[in-house]
Structure 1
Amino acid sequence: MSQNTEQADKQTYEQTPNHTLDTKGLICPEPVMLLHKTIRKAAGGECIEVLATDPATTRDIPNFCRHLGHTLSLEQTLEDGSYRYLIIKKN
């Protein structure tokens, strides 16, 4: 990975989210359905933070981003039993 890519990932990860989507307690397919709704409302380049407890999101959210061309920053992190995703909407 190039230094520029690492810096962009770090900058994205440290970016303050424009939208926070708390899907903790919800199960597939609800987290992705709510993410899709939030993405439609967001402007290009905005950051969406998703908090989830469903382990299926570790597969579903990366696939959602890959399929629609959005950027998933630093894959996902696990904090206190919750998954945290930062997604940058494509322009």
Structure 2
Amino acid sequence: MFIKENYILNLVNLRCPDPIMKIREKLRKIKKNEVILIIADDPSTKREIPQLCLFMGHTLIHSDINKIPYQYLLKKGNIFKN
């Protein structure tokens, strides 16, 4: 499976809660079904990004949390209005 991202969001060196705040800010600006590649090194993102997707109705397409920096491929959903 190959999915091309529309945006790359580099959150390296940011610590909680900043990564989640930056992701939410970006999600508000993009269109439904667009994809963001998120690069982060904060261990809390391993828990927070899946929770954000679940809570806000977005899709976590893929995550690579076996090495730093972590990478997440996130697709903006449409379950809730932003």
TM-score (norm 2): 0.88
Structure with greater Cα Rg: 1
The corresponding residue for 1:85 is: 72
Q: Deviations over 1:33-88 (max 9, x none)?
A: 000000000100000111000000000000000000000013x2036521000000
The corresponding residue for 1:15 is: 3
Gaps of 5+ in 2: none
Divergent runs of 4+, >3 A: none
Q: Which structure features the higher share of helix residues?
A: 1
The corresponding residue for 2:14 is: 26
Root-mean-square deviation over aligned CA pairs: 1.3
Identity percentage of aligned residues: 36
Partner SS state of residue 15, structure 1: coil
Return the alpha-carbon distance in structure 2 between the equivalents of residues 29 and 53 of structure 1.
13
Gaps of 5+ in 1: 1-9
